Chain A
């Protein structure tokens, strides 16, 4: 996923992903912000441990689940807010 250049994104914010600070934009889709920071692989599947990322983009498939401030959220349907703490569901 890649942000369309020239599309207006007025407010820069900071979130952390696995403890590292990432620049994102207020209100944008969390899955897009994570991909822009190089995180398309968001979690590993629970049984076989294969890489997974945002797929349906409408909050149905649950493949884009990440932990946001200690709560599991679908990153495709979560708008970015300043100071979010994101933990990916990948094996270390």
Chain B
């Protein structure tokens, strides 16, 4: 039991790294935990230990700077450690390379980032289909391409980043299939102009894509993935402004051996939900987000949150939110007076407003479109873990299911090892549609420990037979 921790930061992406660094500089005893072996999060991931670092880029330099700053403080990093339990008060339990770890921190900062929304279509479970965010990890971290010939489909800036990454890596992009129209992109231009460095990077990617003569289908989506044992082709079709695919529209077949598909990022809120914080549904922010006070504290005293897990606004905003959360936590723990807090917070809040403007413009391209569920046919597997189709969800809705939790109880949708992270968005949207309500009414899954799969052997690793209290045997 690590009892002396002031602040436990969960997640070592941009928000977590920046928060832990500043909190440690302010004199707090800080520990920071992440699933990955090294700090960085999804956006600033490093090459795995044993493999050389990839070429330097603006992104990798930002990540390296944050990592260096963190390493220069007294904050203690726990890599390859999964948090599976948390209770108010606070008690937090994880499993790391040395076995179970338990903390009882005075405050917690949730910097959990996001998961990816992939609205399913028939065949999306075939090997060779990867998430769009997954494709960025393949390219950036694992120096691998999704396939020999990849279709890149879905919504948001990741489409261009992934397609360009594949071309740079010597692969072939069979097509880009974008839900957005040219107008959708152009309407974000004023916000993009606030960050000419990122705009320039985007233009470079587009130039690369154009030079490779990649067919670009705007306002289109993937209707079906073909293949027996793995993907061999996809069928694409037009969508309307709401993202809805018309069943009668003529489709087009594109041969490929891989599909990278994603429809935006969703804030990961397992930890804040497990700890009982209040959440609100905000479609443009990515979905359910913890309700924050004036700065970064949730409705639970001593529980702070920062980064994309509080609404999608990108890595630059996440760093500033992390710092603001660190100040907020230091004030809460009596390390920082009100006047000092206000003085430092003022500058951060101003920079944050600017960073969020860019992030929100990109985020809104990835927000859930109301018609997206139209592509989910009755035979489509929605819940991958339990193999549950849309037809089964519709049947449950017709029988009276109105919330995600009722759906889970009724047909086990969301009950498998991914804990509803992959199917939650689709399932909630389908129930809302079928029952004529909205995502707010459908609610979220109740978070329950273990929030990540853990081996039973890992949890009992510290016990011997002799450690178990045993009553004396009864007299003969």
Partner-B contacts on A (CB < 8 A)? 1-11, 25-29, 32, 35, 40-42, 45-48, 50-63, 65, 71-72, 76-77, 79
Contacts and interface: CB of A to CB of B under 8 A. Distances in A.
Nearest to B144: A32
Interface in B35-57: 35-37, 42, 48-52, 54
Interface in B196-245: 229-230
A27 B49 contact: yes
Given A29-B48, A51-B229, A46 B387 contact: yes
Contacts of B134: 54-58, 76
7 contacts: A4-B144, A27-B51, A46-B387, A48-B381, A53-B230, A57-B135, A62-B453
Interface of B: 35-37, 42, 48-52, 54, 115-116, 125-131, 133-135, 137-139, 141-148, 169-171, 229-230, 258, 381, 384-387, 416-418, 421-422, 453, 455
Given A7-B143, A41-B230, A79-B49, A53 B128 contact: yes
B393 to A, nearest CB: 15
B269 to A, nearest CB: 14
A70 B141 CA distance: 27
Contacts of B35: 59, 77
Chain B contact surface mostly: loop
Given A27-B50, A45-B125, A55-B130, A62 B144 contact: no
Nearest to A11: B50
Contacts of B145: 1-4
A6 to B, nearest CB: 8
A57 B171 contact: no
A40 B51 CA distance: 23
Nearest to B147: A2
B138 A41 contact: no
A6 B13 CA distance: 28
Given A8-B52, A62-B417, A71-B455, A1 B144 contact: yes
A57 B130 contact: yes
Given A8-B51, A27-B51, A32-B144, A2 B384 contact: no
B387 A62 contact: no
A29 B142 contact: yes
B52 A10 contact: yes
A55 B129 contact: yes
Contacts of A32: 138, 142, 144
Given A29-B142, A60-B418, 5 more contacts: A4-B169, A6-B170, A29-B48, A51-B127, A56-B422
Contacts, number: 141
Nearest to B148: A2
B448 to A, nearest CB: 16
A90 B229 CA distance: 12
Nearest to B137: A57
A11 B52 CA distance: 11
Given A8-B51, A32-B138, A53 B127 contact: yes
Return the 7 tightest CB-CB contacts between A and B, nearest first: A27-B50, A53-B127, A57-B134, A47-B387, A7-B143, A40-B127, A4-B169
A65 B152 CA distance: 25
Contacts of A5: 170
A28 B138 contact: no
A54 B48 contact: no
Contact of A60 (B50, B126, B230, B422): B422
B82 to A, nearest CB: 8
A52 B51 contact: no
A27 B48 contact: yes
B312 to A, nearest CB: 16
B52 A62 contact: no
A56 B116 contact: yes
A64 B258 CA distance: 16
Contacts of B54: 7
A5 B133 CA distance: 22
Contacts of A27: 48-51
A51 B49 CA distance: 31
A1 B146 contact: yes
A53 to B, nearest CB: 3
Point out which of B49, B125, B127, B453 has the most chain A C-beta atoms below 10 A from its C-beta. Answer: B127
Contact of B421 (A2, A4, A60, A76): A60
A2 to B, nearest CB: 5
Contacts of A2: 144-148, 171
Q: Which of B35, B125, B147, B171 has the largest number of chain A CB atoms within 10 A?
A: B125
